[in-house]
Amino acid sequence: MQHRSADKIYKYVTAMGGGNALLFIFVIGAILVIFSYPSLVVNGLHFFSSITWNPHLSGEMITMNGIKTISGASYGMVVFAVGTLISSALALLFGVPIGLGVAIFLSQTAPKKVTAPISFLVEMMAGIPSVIYGFWGFIVLGPFLLNVVEPGLAAHLSFIPFFNPPVYGYGLLASGMILALMIVPIIASISRDAMLQTPKELKEGAVALGLTKWEFIRSMVLPFAKTSIIGSIILGLGRSLGETMAVAMVAGGAVNYLPHTFFYSTNTMAAFMALSMDSAFTDPSGMFISALVELALVLMIITTTVNVIARALVKRGFISSETVIKI
């Protein structure tokens, strides 16, 4: 009898451990909603349609709907939303082919001796902190783009509308490339695991039919791993939408204007949140902070949706949960 009650105590104590996750997510959601309430009321739909983010700190304090704000202040998230979407799209554009290429290399074409060290290097990439990527992007990638890549692109591709000079170095292209670096390990390691699951019979059949390696991969490996690959791509998208420090250091910090070319400096929601909280402390009405919290709420809703879809897809594929955890 004593033992059974010990079991019961053990059960309830451990149940509380997992319950903390439920508590945390509830608290985070509640906090974001409560603190963004002033901004939700005062800014309304203006928040989603305006490109101007101007706290207008020199203005007069007024009261709107019982909430303190500063007259003439305008909070619009369009610039950051556009920057987030385009830089993530660029990241997918660069990252998906590279990630799939690495996955194909590791699962199909690589000689056995190099597979283990290269898998290790790729997984190591996922472990490098984002602030290190940002630092590298700021001192190496930005100047390289500014001096070498972007002038070349602008000179030869300026007939395409989004490749006109002037060039800035830090901007959409730099953010997209840094984000691509960060999502390649995710795409590569999940897709590799899925591709490794391709049944041997398919491979034997392909050899018997005289398919070339490329035909085998295109017609058998890729369709077989399709669900997991799409899942990994969406998982990478979720990561790049929410990425903060790396983008903050290479985006160029644009406010109040939209990018006209891929070279324009930009700003993402997460990066702007990280860089402007310090100036938000100086707003006596607290509306600046509230608007930033609303931005956080919007970002959380977007990334949560993307992640739930991605994880459902990845799990429907043939992936060991170990790979999913590592990311």
Taking the least distance from each CB to other proteins, the nearer of 27 and 207 is: 27
Helix (H, G, I), strand (E, B) or coil at 69: strand
Handedness of CA 306, 307, 313, 319 (dihedral sign): positive
Binding track, positions 98-127, relative to other proteins; x by CB under 8 A:
xxxxx-xx--xxx-------x-xxxxxx-x
Q: Which of residues 171-200 bind other proteins (CB under 8 A)?
A: 181, 184, 188
Q: How far is the CB of 159 from other proteins (least distance, A)?
A: 26
Please, which residue, 16 or 208, has the CB nearer to other proteins?
16
Of 53-92, which residues contact other proteins (CB under 8 A)?
Answer: none
- In whole angstroms, give the CA distance from residue 156 to residue 160: 9
User: For residues 193 and 283, is the Cβ–Cβ distance under 8 A?
Assistant: no
Inter-residue contact 225 to 188 (CB < 8 Å): no
- With CB under 8 A as the contact rule, the residue among 198, 244, 266, 267 that binds other proteins is 244
**Can you tell me which of 61, 62, 93, 140 binds other proteins, judged by CB under 8 A?**
140
CB of 277 to other proteins, least distance (A): 5
Position 207 contacts other proteins (CB under 8 A): no
Catalogue the long-range contacts made by 276-285 (C-beta closer than 8 Å, 24 or more residues apart): 279/55, 280/55, 282/57, 283/55, 283/57, 283/70, 284/61, 284/70, 285/61, 285/68, 285/69, 285/70, 285/73
Q: Provide the terminal-to-terminal Cα distance of the chain, rounded to the nearest Å.
A: 44
Task: Verify binding: residue 149, other proteins, rule CB under 8 A.
Answer: no
Does the protein bind other proteins through residue 279 (CB under 8 A)? no
Our finding on whether 208 is near other proteins (CB under 8 A) is: no
The helix or strand, by DSSP H or E, that contains position 119, with its residue range, turns out to be helix 112-127
Q: Among 55, 238, 252, 317, which residue interacts with other proteins (rule: CB under 8 A)?
A: 238
Residue number with CB closer to other proteins (35 or 59): 35
Q: Are strands 53-54 and 61-64 parallel, antiparallel or unpaired?
A: unpaired
Question: How many residues form the binding site for other proteins (CB under 8 A)?
Answer: 89
For other proteins, the binding residue among 190, 233, 299, 313 (CB under 8 A) is: 299
Nearer to other proteins, 97 or 165 (CB): 97
Q: How far is the CB of 60 from other proteins (least distance, A)?
A: 25
Q: Residue 282 interacts with other proteins (CB under 8 A)? A: no
Distance CA 87, CA 241 (A): 8
How far apart (Å, rounded) are the C-alpha atoms in residues 171 and 141?
11
Report helix, strand or coil for 168: coil
DSSP assigned state of 197: T
Would you count residue 139 as binding other proteins (CB under 8 A)?
A: yes
Q: Does 296 engage in binding with other proteins (CB under 8 A)?
A: yes
Nearest-approach distance from CB 35 to other proteins, in angstroms: 5
Minimum separation from the CB atom of position 62 to other proteins (A): 23
